[in-house]
Structure 1
Amino acid sequence: MDHLPQRFTDWFAARGWQPHRHQLELLAQADAAATLLVAPTGGGKTLAGFLPTLVDLAQGPHRGMHTLYVSPLKALTADIRRNLEVPARELGLDIRIEDRTGDTSATARARQRRDPPQILLTTPESLALLISYEDAPRIFAGLRRVVVDEIHALAEGKRGDQLMLCLARLQSICPDLTRVGLSATVESPARLAEYLAPAPGACEVIHADPGPTPDIRILETAEPPPWAGMGGRYAVPAILDQIRQANTTLVFINTRAQAELFFRALWEANTDGLPIGIHHGSLSRAARENVESAMVAGALRAVVCTGSLDLGIDWGNVDLVIQVGAPKNVKRLVQRIGRANHRYDAPSRALLVPANRFEVVECRAALEAVLQGDLDAEPRGSGPLDVLCQHILIRACAGPFTADELFRETRAAGPYRALQRADFDACLDFCATGGYALRAYDRWQRLMERDGRWQLRDPRAARAIRMNIGTIVEVETLAVRMKGRLGGTPLGEVEEAFAATLSPGDTFLIGGQTVRYEGLREMTVEVTRQPGREPRIAVFSGVKMATSLELSDRVIALLSDPARWSDLPPHTRDWLRMQTRVSALPHPGRLLAESFSRGDREYLALYSFAGRNANQTLGLLATRRMEEAGLDPTGFVANDYAVLIWGLRRVRDAAPLLAPGDLRAALETWLAENAVMKRTFRASAVVAGLIERNMPGRRKTGRQATFSSDILYDTLRKYDPGHLMLRITREEAARGLVDFGRIEAMLERIDGRVDMVMAPHVTPLAAPLLLEMGRIPIRGSAQETALAEETARLMAEAGLD
């Protein structure tokens, strides 16, 4: 403990603790340019990250900001602040610890700019806003350390790209700045270290001891999972039994809408009246904070939640995590498991609950990956240019700059280290003029060059730029409030498109309660309580998860090896054995294609295991080729593991439909005319600053933003097809909404090896896909009975009666 002052040694001893090796290692290299700490959940990562700060501040007063902490979640900053205030108080440190997020009051934000606290906890968006001010050099003048928590989560998307650009700016202001990254789930520490480093090779990696192996298994239920569907509500009785036996349980659901449905089913079966809450991003801030406070106080036995509680928050009494639905991603599962028994010396305890029969296999594959420590990853390419455009505008808000200095600063950010000057100049020109087709319009001429330095053409534009900072472009939502003369209690928000379908008297589910739509007032959905009514379902936005490629490979390997089926439940083993009798099973390095007849339709199933988005794209491209070949396709449906196409003629050879050939050209031709491309354009245009979501005094509705983006898209395609925003859109669409990179990877992997099976009838593996065709919300027992009968009929055809 050479580097730990006696004051701190005594504090650890008073708590009955011993500092961990990795905490002391991080303290020993407190002055290193950058350090990445990889430590398991409950291993004291946060204290390790702040220990050098506390030791430094204990040696004497520090004027201004000393340490900046950045996390992906607002809730995490509040939780860390609470936990950090305890050692600071017990060590007698006279310092201020404050958080700054979108929930912080304007008064507090203004005070923090005038008089920064010694430790500020924030999010990437709030940091970007801070560096946009002219007085940023004064705000950060004394900054010595930046701690980036859950850095793996940020590195997966544009929020992390924006953060790294902000850190490059801070490094210019404070050249001796030290960076620390903290994570429990890192598949490639070396790659993540380069992402964080201020220069190539300038980040050290510290590995903590891995801790005990997690206790994870698949929950056994009296009723087998259904053949299709994603809700997992069949397991409610078994899950309630587990909640009764635990102190506090987190029940993770993959989407917000499913979380609402599952919470309602759980509550209806909760005859014991156990206190159970719900937490997700579409609920009001007050509702989320009430649940968080109740969790901290130990007043809840369970919380049904989404990714809003994925990361880093220490709830203390949580001793069980239940994941309902396949986790889709091993890293996400590890992160969620770590919420239980949040201690270094205790194994995390978790149960997986497959939502349907196929997910039994996926859950088993994920469980094996966790136990083997095999995390998944999909390396991202270079930093996206729409984020760079936004950063250039942010930098201009802070004052004049030269192109050369900003280019050098940008290249110091890990994601942009390979940025070419031509691309940077194209982004700068776009920010200055809007590009060739738009340069005649004053609204997009935002920058001007004077004496070799770039600056805002109109300083008043800074306000609008600041109001639109951020890289999260969600579906437009409307607030939901209880109807009242003075404005009722806020409940949360629903998508604008969903609200547009409502008529007075309609009911829907939000926050675990059924409400009745009364009307729309000043862009707010007004409702009244309607307990006991059968609700419609609020279609929330949020992440649409695709199974990772590594997990998909594990699923294929498990399916193709009957020797490994012994760990699967009997009903799943029987399903797979019947599949081998009727058809075949997928094998690594090959693609299974099945052709069969049913009624007056011919079906083709392609088992690509490329993820839902990629399979939808594959369906579009395959049906296009079928049309060219005269095979008359009439429709298709896709899920994570396959695409099912139906039509008028039987396909006897699927290989030509999957030949790489001009597939990318066909994709781009289709995309150019498709709504998907316009949706992608709108998202990128919002990030790049071409379209403003928020304007002083008012906010654009989703329809207004979509209408203006559609006009812009059509204008640029017609008059400036080489425009930077169209190039960004093509790149984003190919790797985002349509996941074309996955299709290319799949085609490269199989290299023309297609196992074509002419099946005598619908196969056991294809039967769940048929159940997905034309799915609609089921309301009432009559419809549920009809669905059950159709399922039984279909499974009997597949030989699974």
Structure 2
Amino acid sequence: MSLPPKLMGWFTRQGWQPHPHQLALLEAEGDSLLVAPTGGGKTLAGFLPSLVELSALQDGYLDNGESRARGVHTLYVSPLKALTADIGRNLARPVAELGLGIRVEDRTGDTNQARRRRQRVDPPEILLTTPESLALMLSYPEAPAIFGGLRRVVLDELHALAESKRGDQLMLGLARLRQMAPELRVTGLSATVEDPVALANFMAGAAPVRIVEADPGPEPDIAMLATARPPPWSGGGGHYAVPEVLEAIRGANTTIVFINTRAQAELFFQALWAANDDNLPIGLHHGSLAHEQRVKVEAAMAAGELRAVVATGSLDLGIDWGAVDLVIQVGAPKNVKRLVQRIGRANHRYNAPSKARIVAANRFEQIECVAALEAVAARDLDGDPRGAGPLDVLCQHILLIACAGPFDADRLYAEVVTAGPYRALSRADFDACLDFAATGGYALRAYDRWQRLMQRDGFWRLRDPRASQLLRMNVGTIVEAEMMKVRLRGRGGAPLGEVEESFAASLEPGDSFLIGGRTVRMDALREMVVEVTPQPTANPKIAVFSGVKLATSTQLSHRVLALVGHPERHDLLPAQTRDWLALQAEVSLLPQPDLLLSETFPHGGLSHFALYGFAGRNALQTLGLLLTRAMEEQGLGPLGFLSTDYALLVWSIDPVLDPDPLLDIERLRAGLGDWLASNAVMKRTFRNVATVAGLIQRNMPGLRKSGRQATFSSDILYDTLRKYDPEHLMLRITAEEAGRGLVDFGRIEEMLARSPHRAHQVLDRVSPLAAPLLLEVGRVPIRGEGRERLARIEAEELMREAGLEALL
């Protein structure tokens, strides 16, 4: 396939020349993965083969004489609903100017019911959707008619999808589409890929995927933002840099200010407005804002009406705003790929360098930011190898396939193993998922509610066809904390966004909090809605949003450790940071890539133990729980701990003088098993797994379970299965996920393996490197024998002060 004169003429009228990588996708005969920088025309490249084919069909010919088939011709899948809307707007122009006479429609959670029903019987030629909506469409009996003539699938921002269960769900759907339409061609698009071969294998079917790598374009203009004040020793807000951020916004056309968490975005937006004496139009965008507000901000950005927008990961991907010429990252990026993706939002043009500035939130983050800049310059992207496809996603897929009609288990297994993540799936694991989908498993098969499938004439089918409604209502792999709507009080009050149910439960009428950059007063809590009144003068509480605390990647942590441990490279750092590390080397030691440093020192009448592990917050939090258990066994009286991405700090009554026994890997592994068996982490992980697999339904016809109700029912199920069916599939999946995700024990093992040398310093005062840890929030108290001993010591001191020594 080549670019026909009609399409070439359209390019010429735009003043464009097709890029080599765009033409390469036209020439590809099979599936392809395009890796191209932001602004390199990836999305147009993905759609060019479709535009060529649809143009030929419109003109009445194809090389093979094929005529237009009824149904969807091209399916576009992206991670974001906002991205589908943006692509729809961008496609409208070439479709109209080429006179193709086709429909381009989206099918997401925002699509109204009337259009959804119509699409099932009269689908458009180009359909734009998300993984969840595709899974839903494949669950209908009409799916073969909708997708039987499918010729092209475009997977946008594939790297982002591959990092979560949404990607696994999408690959299972793609395997089904390949069965329905054997001639279809799949194109994956991505800008930030550390391992193109692994990503190509992830999206591959039976045939290999051709990898097309575009010219990466000019080097980005990226540097630290110079500030009059140095960053604070701890904290993550970056508010000290507000004057310089505002000045940078004034000097640019349009700026995106990226913040790592939603709560911090609210605070930084408020701080910008307080200092915005010029009344520059600045917006706020994050995933907990009301849909109407997000759409309003997106439209204002597209129209060039905003000078800046403060955003979280909600704007990381793909939306093409050509006017954006500056990106500011506030807070360490935690991940090089994420930083590169965000940098690419500036100067969304192939031949123009992206301009970005970074603001470190605290002194330690200055080191991480410098390390991230080095990684960007070296084009060294981070990423962890993907594991096998998760079985809870497969359980949900089997149930949704049953909604579409009877299926043969052998054929479904043969189909599933053509999906990249499930290529190594054993028949035993498939059968375990099928048994769970059919009966709920051994301990639950006596209950009618989990008897969902039955076998008749060799085919599996729904036991009760009415169950399909409930299964479809619970489609998806994203399990977030229960959120409650926030609306202005009064009939038809405007929606402002969402807050966590746990946060809403902590509010009393009259309490104020911050949402959407506005301070509001909580008036009433009605069902799943928080009713509020604006109260701009109140000192607000801050809504705590879940699922947004980012851990520094393993590769970036290694770069930070290498920078800290080599004084000859400290000239890359700001002067105050160089002096800080020099003082650490004088008082104690510097951590090094092959040296695991720990320190014991007194402070505030207690002994403190600091371990500089550089293993990420989740791993060091887990290590803190395991170490304090071991310290309790040794009678050291641990009282609490805190973890950051780089260090663990534990305080106790008695000092740690020899940490080696505490860090024995076999002891840690055994302690992990004992701790996880009854820990809330496991119950939380089980709830997520059980929800994805379909064991727990959050959405019911006419109502939705609250987070507390879902937690209560999942806890009962967890305890029941542990007692009566400890080998249950859901418990096996839970243990695997807890060890890999929230617990991150693998990074503890990696930390100990990469550090053949250890040094423990016993100091008489706080070390320079440990001092910021004492200022951090997020302390975890330990309620054990140590706290009882501390209470006895305090009581004895009080009695002595009162002259009652004789009574002791």
Q: Which amino acid aligns with 1:22?
A: H
Q: Which amino acid aligns with 1:619?
A: G
Answer yes or no: is 1:510 the counterpart of 2:515: yes
User: Aligned partners of 2:26 and 2:669: how far apart in 1?
Assistant: 51
| 2:789 corresponding residue in structure 1 | none
| 1:618 corresponding residue in structure 2 | 623
CA drift of 1:629 comes to 2.1
User: Aligned partners of 1:709 and 1:205: how far apart in 2?
Assistant: 44
Cα deviations by residue, 1:50-97 (Å, 9 ceiling, x for unpaired)? 000000000014332110000000111101111111111112211111
CA drift of 1:773 comes to 5.0
Give the CA RMSD over aligned residues: 1.1
CA drift of 1:487 comes to 3.0
Q: Secondary structure at the match of 1:726?
A: helix
| 2:770 corresponding residue in structure 1 | 766
User: Aligned partners of 1:758 and 1:176: how far apart in 2?
Assistant: 69
Q: Secondary structure at the match of 1:377?
A: coil
Q: Which amino acid aligns with 1:759?
A: L
Answer yes or no: is 1:744 the counterpart of 2:749: yes
Q: Secondary structure at the match of 1:400?
A: coil
Q: Is contact 2:640-2:779 (8 Å) kept?
A: no
Out of 690, 712, 724, the position equivalent to 1:719 is: 724
User: Aligned partners of 2:155 and 2:778: how far apart in 1?
Assistant: 45
Instruction: Name which of structure 1's ranges 765-774 and 670-679 shifts more when overlaid on structure 2.
Output: 765-774
Answer yes or no: is 1:48 the counterpart of 2:52: no
| 1:39 corresponding residue in structure 2 | 36
User: Aligned partners of 1:87 and 1:775: how far apart in 2?
Assistant: 56
Q: Secondary structure at the match of 1:408?
A: helix
User: Aligned partners of 2:429 and 2:357: how far apart in 1?
Assistant: 48
Answer yes or no: is 1:322 the counterpart of 2:322: no
| 1:665 corresponding residue in structure 2 | 670
User: Aligned partners of 2:576 and 2:755: how far apart in 1?
Assistant: 30
Out of 306, 312, 321, the position equivalent to 2:318 is: 312
Instruction: Name which of structure 1's ranges 348-357 and 651-660 shifts more when overlaid on structure 2.
Output: 651-660
Instruction: Name which of structure 1's ranges 436-445 and 767-776 shifts more when overlaid on structure 2.
Output: 767-776
| 1:754 corresponding residue in structure 2 | 758
CA drift of 1:630 comes to 2.3
Q: Which amino acid aligns with 2:716?
A: I
TM-score of the pair, normalised by structure 2: 0.94
Q: Is contact 2:642-2:779 (8 Å) kept?
A: no
User: Aligned partners of 2:411 and 2:751: how far apart in 1?
Assistant: 42
| 1:396 corresponding residue in structure 2 | 402
Q: Which amino acid aligns with 1:123?
A: T
Answer yes or no: is 1:168 the counterpart of 2:151: no
Out of 596, 605, 609, the position equivalent to 1:604 is: 609
User: Aligned partners of 2:763 and 2:108: how far apart in 1?
Assistant: 57
Out of 290, 299, 302, the position equivalent to 2:296 is: 290
CA drift of 1:768 comes to 1.1
User: Aligned partners of 2:727 and 2:667: how far apart in 1?
Assistant: 21
Answer yes or no: is 1:113 the counterpart of 2:113: no
CA drift of 1:429 comes to 0.4
CA drift of 1:10 comes to 1.2
CA drift of 1:291 comes to 0.1
Q: Which runs of 5+ in 1 are unaligned?
A: 777-801
Out of 676, 691, 696, the position equivalent to 1:691 is: 696
User: Aligned partners of 1:400 and 1:453: how far apart in 2?
Assistant: 6
Out of 357, 362, 369, the position equivalent to 1:356 is: 362
User: Aligned partners of 2:779 and 2:488: how far apart in 1?
Assistant: 32
Q: Which amino acid aligns with 1:250?
A: I
Instruction: Name which of structure 1's ranges 767-776 and 147-156 shifts more when overlaid on structure 2.
Output: 767-776
User: Aligned partners of 1:68 and 1:191: how far apart in 2?
Assistant: 23
User: Aligned partners of 1:54 and 1:684: how far apart in 2?
Assistant: 41
Answer yes or no: is 1:129 the counterpart of 2:136: yes
| 2:574 corresponding residue in structure 1 | 569
Q: Secondary structure at the match of 2:761?
A: strand
Q: Secondary structure at the match of 1:68?
A: strand
Q: Is contact 2:641-2:779 (8 Å) kept?
A: no
Q: Is contact 1:517-1:526 (8 Å) kept?
A: yes
Q: Secondary structure at the match of 1:182?
A: strand
Q: Is contact 1:589-1:750 (8 Å) kept?
A: yes
User: Aligned partners of 1:377 and 1:609: how far apart in 2?
Assistant: 16
| 1:27 corresponding residue in structure 2 | 26
Q: Is contact 1:326-1:359 (8 Å) kept?
A: yes
CA drift of 1:666 comes to 1.5
CA drift of 1:394 comes to 0.6
CA drift of 1:605 comes to 0.6
How does 1:10-159 map onto structure 2 within 5 Å?
A: 10-29=9-28, 31-32=29-30, 34-61=31-58, 62=68, 63-159=70-166
Q: Secondary structure at the match of 1:750?
A: coil
User: Aligned partners of 2:754 and 2:396: how far apart in 1?
Assistant: 37
User: Aligned partners of 2:186 and 2:116: how far apart in 1?
Assistant: 24
TM-score of the pair, normalised by structure 1: 0.95
Q: Which amino acid aligns with 1:703?
A: R
Q: Is contact 2:285-2:311 (8 Å) kept?
A: yes
| 2:376 corresponding residue in structure 1 | 370
Q: Which runs of 4+ in 1 moved over 6 A?
A: none
Q: Is contact 1:654-1:754 (8 Å) kept?
A: no
CA drift of 1:775 comes to 6.9
Q: Which amino acid aligns with 1:552?
A: S
Q: Secondary structure at the match of 1:662?
A: helix
Q: Secondary structure at the match of 2:109?
A: coil
Q: Secondary structure at the match of 1:59?
A: helix
Q: Which amino acid aligns with 2:145?
A: R
CA drift of 1:541 comes to 2.1
User: Aligned partners of 2:295 and 2:27: how far apart in 1?
Assistant: 37
Q: Secondary structure at the match of 1:347?
A: coil
User: Aligned partners of 1:78 and 1:696: how far apart in 2?
Assistant: 29
Out of 307, 326, 330, the position equivalent to 1:301 is: 307
Instruction: Name which of structure 1's ranges 658-667 and 237-246 shifts more when overlaid on structure 2.
Output: 658-667
CA drift of 1:622 comes to 1.1
How does 1:447-466 map onto structure 2 within 5 Å?
A: 447-466=453-472
CA drift of 1:522 comes to 2.8
Q: Which amino acid aligns with 1:7?
A: K
Q: Which amino acid aligns with 1:277?
A: G
Q: Which amino acid aligns with 1:40?
A: P
Q: Which amino acid aligns with 1:579?
A: Q
CA drift of 1:774 comes to 6.0
User: Aligned partners of 1:738 and 1:647: how far apart in 2?
Assistant: 23
Q: Secondary structure at the match of 2:760?
A: strand
User: Aligned partners of 1:589 and 1:334: how far apart in 2?
Assistant: 29
CA drift of 1:242 comes to 0.2
| 1:795 corresponding residue in structure 2 | none
Q: Is contact 1:256-1:542 (8 Å) kept?
A: no
| 1:796 corresponding residue in structure 2 | none
How does 1:256-655 map onto structure 2 within 5 Å?
A: 256-484=262-490, 486-655=491-660
Q: Is contact 1:507-1:530 (8 Å) kept?
A: yes
Answer yes or no: is 1:707 the counterpart of 2:704: no
Q: Percent identity?
A: 69
Q: Secondary structure at the match of 1:540?
A: coil
Instruction: Name which of structure 1's ranges 708-717 and 7-16 shifts more when overlaid on structure 2.
Output: 7-16
Cα deviations by residue, 1:194-217 (Å, 9 ceiling, x for unpaired)? 001102x61110010010000000
Cα deviations by residue, 1:563-600 (Å, 9 ceiling, x for unpaired)? 22212111111111111111111111221111111131
Q: Which amino acid aligns with 1:742?
A: R
Q: Secondary structure at the match of 1:220?
A: coil
Q: Is contact 1:11-1:91 (8 Å) kept?
A: yes
User: Aligned partners of 1:89 and 1:234: how far apart in 2?
Assistant: 49
Q: Is contact 1:589-1:749 (8 Å) kept?
A: yes
Cα deviations by residue, 1:337-362 (Å, 9 ceiling, x for unpaired)? 00000000000000010001100000
User: Aligned partners of 1:282 and 1:550: how far apart in 2?
Assistant: 30
User: Aligned partners of 2:45 and 2:580: how far apart in 1?
Assistant: 49
Q: Secondary structure at the match of 2:57?
A: coil
Cα deviations by residue, 1:512-566 (Å, 9 ceiling, x for unpaired)? 0000000112321000000121111011123221000000000011111122221
User: Aligned partners of 2:754 and 2:563: how far apart in 1?
Assistant: 18
